[in-house]
Structure 1
């Protein structure tokens, strides 16, 4: 009996890291009856079943869990957004941030493809991203030719488990190839017709980089708000959550209520009008969704 961490899962087999080696494991049949599904990132107990085969007998409690991508015990999300090809969408960025916040994970925004954009586009994005920095988000870029991308990311990914996410075509696989060339991950060309990249990542795998673990995954395949109640959404916009403490009514949704501190800060320009409009759009989307019946 030994313990390790699932680093990748392919075709019903789980590859558990133990003392620098990957042990091929299968899971116990009883897991399915109990509704337990081992995930990449899980800490597990396994029993050797031959020279390099084993059976997972226990899945340890998780500190976090994502369904899409299926991965456990994540600390943070490295959110890759390109300046061009595809152009940066702040609404999509807010959508990602909302989903990440709802899972109580730390988001880090990495800006890619600045070298492909004209000066005006870069400056416009700088102004927009300055707001996200002001409300507490980390925004990274690789703008210094003297510093490698790995050196830029090292302080943020060391000793952490990180999931990559972002719109298709923004350069997630390219980023991983740059910081770990031996991966040689397949990168998809952007479809001119769709403006989206082809999905090139097929399975979830944790890769050791800079004393941390980075998940090469298909990313967040779903960005819906099915798991978020309308009363919870305000908590996932950090500046709205903070300003909301000053509202006249405790259950204020910051829409039409009197004495709303959030709307006051939007009018003052303290809270971004664009972010607030996205909050209202997301709130309406959650309000309009069909009820779920179990």
Structure 2
């Protein structure tokens, strides 16, 4: 039977890329009985039932899968945040990074709308953001109409399957239009009353860009941490994972000989990152048991 990769899911149909063409398919009912659902990014086996119509019969094992957005087999996530409208939010940024790290997906940080801030304000944002570069994350600044963005992003996207995610209204569709002007995706405006953007993207689709695949996704205001256990949380903070504490399984809260707390006190780990770690740890600890 033929095999391929689901590149788009829309209205109950799955569009499989195989041999340079897209085949429209539906999923077998057996997936519902198993509690499974095909995702964009899945490698699948399917049967042909018409000239360009078929049925998904098997889903190959996934290396990872995201729930929001619903997509599988991702290498990296382009986390898009604006420096204004909506304002740059470190707590939300750390939440997104933590959730993505929990899926073992590499975060790439893209800050948009840098042309809308005064120089002094922009320098303050850059000062905050520079910490993330110092701990190993790729960080890009851009704005609407940035002609250099393609050249800077192409090496990052090459041979990778990437997901594009972030709050509503931060400029994800604008960024994608810069990479692929022929898409002409509708861009949303910020609601002055709510201070947040309208959802402008209606489905998930993998698009070929720079010899890689890029998914455009709906905007979200938050990511959940249901897939992260408290014992694994510190591994989602890349700078914390570099330190070895006195006791195995140290939660970096009140334990003696904690190398992470010492690093925070010495300024080697940013205070805001540690504070956010404690907040997320409390959130996970208080989470209702799952059955």
Q: Which residue of 1 aligns with 2:267?
A: 269
Q: Which residues of structure 1 form unaligned runs of 5+?
A: none
Looking at structure 2, the residues matched to 17 and 251 of structure 1 have their Cα atoms a distance apart, in angstroms, of 44
Q: Which residue of 2 aligns with 1:28?
A: 28
Aligned to 2:80: 80
Kept in 2: contact 1:164–1:219 (CA 8 A)? no
RMSD over aligned Cα atoms: 1.6
Q: Where does residue 103 of structure 1 map in the other structure?
A: 103
TM-superposition CA deviations, 1:6-32 (whole Å, max 9, x none): 111111111111222111111222222
Once structures 1 and 2 are overlaid, which stretch shifts more, 5-14 or 213-222? 213-222
1:34 deviates by 2.5
CA–CA separation in structure 1 for the residues paired with 2:146 and 2:105: 31
Counterparts of 2:30 and 2:274 in 1: how far apart (Å)? 48
TM-score if structure 1 supplies the norm length?
0.94
1:90-169 → structure 2 map (5 Å cutoff):
90-142=90-142, 148-169=148-169
Cα distance between partner residues in 1 of 2:194 and 2:128? 25
Q: 1:259 aligns with which of 251, 257, 260?
A: 257
Instruction: Quote the Cα distance in structure 2 between the aligned partners of 1:254 and 1:146.
Output: 42
Equivalent position of 1:278 in the other structure: 276
Matches of 1:273 and 1:20, distance apart in 2: 50
Aligned ranges 1:219-258 → 2 under 5 Å: 219=219, 222-243=222-243, 245=244, 247-258=245-256
Q: Give CA deviations for 1:49-108 in whole Å, capped at 9, x if unaligned.
A: 111111222211212211111111111100111111111111111000000000000000
Q: Report if aligned partners of 1:142, 1:152 keep a CA contact under 8 Å in 2.
A: no
Q: 1:220, CA displacement in angstroms?
A: 5.1
Cα deviation, residue 279, structure 1: 0.8
What residue in structure 1 maps to residue 216 of structure 2? 216
> Which deviates more from structure 2 when the two are superposed, residues 58-67 or residues 110-119?
58-67
Measured in 2, the distance between the counterparts of 1:151 and 1:75 equals 20
Aligned length: 290
Contact 1:27 1:55 in 2 (8 A): yes
**3-state SS in 1 of match to 2:55:** strand
Alignment deviations for residues 162-220 of structure 1 (CA, whole Å, 9 cap, x no partner): 10111111100110011111111111110112111011111111111111111111145
* SS of 1:6 mapped into structure 2: strand
Gaps of 5+ in 2: none
Misfit runs of 4+, over 3 Å: 219-222
1:148 shift after superposition: 2.5
Contact 2:166 2:221 survives alignment (8 Å): no
SS in 1 for 2:46: strand
SS class of match (1:100): helix
